[in-house]
Amino acid sequence: MFTPSAPRHWWSSRRERGDTTQAVQDAVRLLRAQGCPVCAERDEARARWFGYFVAESHSDEAVRAEVHAALGLCPGHYRWLLADGSASWLLPQVQEGVLAAGVRTLDARGAVARCPCCVGGDRAAGRTLHTLLAAYPDARVSTVLEGGVLCAPHLRDLLGLPGGELAAALVDPWLSAVDEWPVDLLVGTDPDGAARAAYVPILDALFASEDDRAPTLARWEGDTARACCPVCLARERANRRLLHWEARAEEGTGPRDAEVELCRRHLHDLARTRTPGARTVVDRLQDRAREQWRRFRTRQERGNRVEALGHLEAPVCRGCREERSAEDRYLALLAAVLLDPGRAAAHARSHGLCLRHVLRAGETLPVEAAGCVRTWLKLTRWEVTETLRKQEWHARHEEAGEETTAAFRSTTHLDGRIGCGLPRAQQPGADDDIPTEREEPG
Ligand SMILES: [Zn+2]
Ligand SMILES: [Zn+2]
Ligand SMILES: [Zn+2]
Ligand SMILES: [Zn+2]
């Protein structure tokens, strides 16, 4: 068996000794968390970033620049904002800058940065892993880690750090300590899962009402009549179909091994169905993970660390592949349909594609599709600016109108994934899209 041997310089200098003492103290504190301490720190850092954004940093120039570079937040964190009590006054402020950044990005075909809230969480996870590794030789830390608290992806991350081979002795006790693998342990925690679950009954009712055997153009016309991105809707349709199939699958008749590979988001969505099919998938993933870790251990014992870590690579998620394929197919359909001038005109008057999908399609999409999103981004931004103007004290003699909901509606033009592909009016909580109180003069 592989036995970790600390390099001679591990405790050598006083400075390192001081750093390690601090790391042990920090690690002991981190290990008080429920479940995986790395997931806990990541999720807490994201919640802290979001709380501070709502309370204060939304007006900080540096933070605003990060939010604009990312064209807002990721779908999950936009859902936090939409559901937050601050949405009525904060969302218009956020969207005013984000929609302008969206038009600039569209014109320049520029790159989009990652959600700053997610980035903050990932940094916290990275710091936690380094702290745990630095403190690992201390028995107060190694004993807890060997008890199986880390989730499988974070144990893999820990072992992949420079010097991570020091913690390889964890794997054996970790494997024996973990009897039953709950989903949180298999793929990590998913704080957005409950918010996504609220969209599921609405999506399922919508898709159940559709006639899959209707002619292609009739289905395209149906999508065009809706106030949402048709590509995002097609993506959700594919997503729900796959998860329904996997949830209903009986032992032996369901998905084959390669088809049960699901990422964190998809596995949590499936597990929430609490069906026998979902249990079967989780069991099979658990067996596969055990096997992966056994192979890792064998390779590691033979001294081939890179190859050993290769055995722990997460396979491509079947759900993510289905989504991507549905997006590609719908974009190809659109490229064909828009060759017809009458249908191109109908598309131009519709909600059209969200910015994310126009950017993703790039040059493959007819210019009419991009023109449609540019119009909507500019129009909703005008309405958002109007909302903010009417909130000012000097405009108190003016009535607030439909423009007050523009900040909420604009999210479907920016990235349809925020509302799981649904028109804003059909999303959970859309009834609360209300204007803000007028500001009293300071
Ligand atoms: Zn974790
Ligand atoms: Zn995010
Ligand atoms: Zn879209
Ligand atoms: Zn996935």
In SS3 terms, the chain reads as CCCCCCCCCCCCCHHHHHHHHHHHHHHHHHCCCCCCHHHHHHHHHHHHHHHHHHHCHHHCHHHHHHHHHCCCCCHHHHHHHHHCCCHHHHHHHHHHHHHHHHHHHHHHCCCCCCCHHHHHHHHHHHHHHHHHHHHCCCHHHHHHHHCCCCCHHHHHHHHHCCCHHHHHHHHHHHHHHCCCCCHHHHHCCCCCHHHHHCCHHHHHHHHHCCCCCCCHHHHHHHHHCCCCCHHHHHHHHHHHHHHHHHHHCCCCCCCCHHHHCCCHHHHHHHHCCCCHHHHHHHHHHHHHHHHHHHHHHHHHHCCCHHHHHHCCCCCCCHHHHHHHHHHHHHHHHHHHHCCCHHHHHHHHCCCCCCHHHHHHHHHHCCHHHHHHHHHHHHHHHHHHHHHHHHHCHHHCCCCCCHHHHHHHHHHHHHCHHHHCCCCHHHCCCHHHCCCCCCCCCC
Domain membership of residue 119 (yes or no) is: yes
Residues with CB under 5 A from ligand 1 (ion): 36, 38-39, 151, 154, 188
Confidence of residue 359 (pLDDT cuts 50, 70, 90): very high
Is pLDDT larger for residue 114 or for residue 251? 114
Closest ligand (CA of 122)? 2
Residue 240 Cα to ligand 2 middle (Å): 22
Domain membership of residue 358 (yes or no) is: no
Q: What is the pLDDT of residue 376?
A: 95
In percent, the amount of the chain with pLDDT more than 70 equals 91
In the predicted structure, residue 406 carries a pLDDT above the cut 70: yes
Q: What is the pLDDT of residue 414?
A: 97
Q: What is the pLDDT of residue 63?
A: 98
Closest ligand (CA of 38)? 1
Confidence of residue 391 (pLDDT cuts 50, 70, 90): confident
Residue 265 Cα to ligand 4 middle (Å): 6
Q: What is the pLDDT of residues 140-168, one digit of tens each?
A: 998 898 888 999 999 999 999 998 888 88
Domain membership of residue 430 (yes or no) is: no
| Domain with 47 in it | 8-70+113-179
Residue 403 Cα to ligand 4 middle (Å): 36
Task: State phi, psi for 386 to the nearest 5 degrees.
Answer: -65, -40
Total of domains in the chain: 1
Closest ligand (CA of 35)? 1
Q: What is the pLDDT of residues 185-208, one digit of tens each?
A: 999 999 999 999 999 999 999 999
In the predicted structure, residue 384 carries a pLDDT above the cut 50: yes
In percent, the amount of the chain with pLDDT more than 90 equals 60
Q: What is the pLDDT of residue 10?
A: 41
Domain membership of residue 255 (yes or no) is: no
In the predicted structure, residue 8 carries a pLDDT above the cut 80: no
Residues with CB under 5 A from ligand 3 (ion): 229, 231-232, 354, 357, 416
In the predicted structure, residue 435 carries a pLDDT above the cut 60: no
Is pLDDT larger for residue 100 or for residue 395? 100
Return mean pLDDT, the chain. Answer: 88
Q: What is the pLDDT of residue 253?
A: 62
Is pLDDT larger for residue 76 or for residue 33? 76
Residue 182 Cα to ligand 1 middle (Å): 12
Cα distances from 215 to residues 208, 211, 212, 220, in angstroms, run 17, 9, 8, 9
Closest ligand (CA of 416)? 3
Is pLDDT larger for residue 216 or for residue 433? 216
pTM across the whole model: 0.89
Confidence of residue 34 (pLDDT cuts 50, 70, 90): confident
Task: Average the pLDDT over each of 37-41, 106-110, 138-142, 368-372 and give the range with the smallest value.
Answer: 368-372
Q: What is the pLDDT of residue 252?
A: 57
Give me the mean pLDDT over the 13-29 stretch.
72
Task: Average the pLDDT over each of 57-61, 121-125, 316-320, 411-415 and give the range with the smallest value.
Answer: 316-320
CB < 8 Å & 24+ apart, contacts of 282-286 = 282/181, 282/183, 282/186, 284/257, 284/260, 285/186, 285/260, 285/261, 286/180, 286/181, 286/186
Q: What is the pLDDT of residues 270-302, one digit of tens each?
A: 999 888 888 888 888 888 888 888 888 888 888
Is pLDDT larger for residue 277 or for residue 420? 420
Residue 427 Cα to ligand 2 middle (Å): 19
In the predicted structure, residue 1 carries a pLDDT above the cut 60: no
Residues 280 and 287: their CA atoms lie apart, in Å, by 11
In the predicted structure, residue 426 carries a pLDDT above the cut 70: yes
In the predicted structure, residue 436 carries a pLDDT above the cut 80: no
Domain membership of residue 130 (yes or no) is: yes
Closest ligand (CA of 315)? 4
Domain membership of residue 230 (yes or no) is: no
Give me the mean pLDDT over the 49-59 stretch.
97
Domain membership of residue 333 (yes or no) is: no
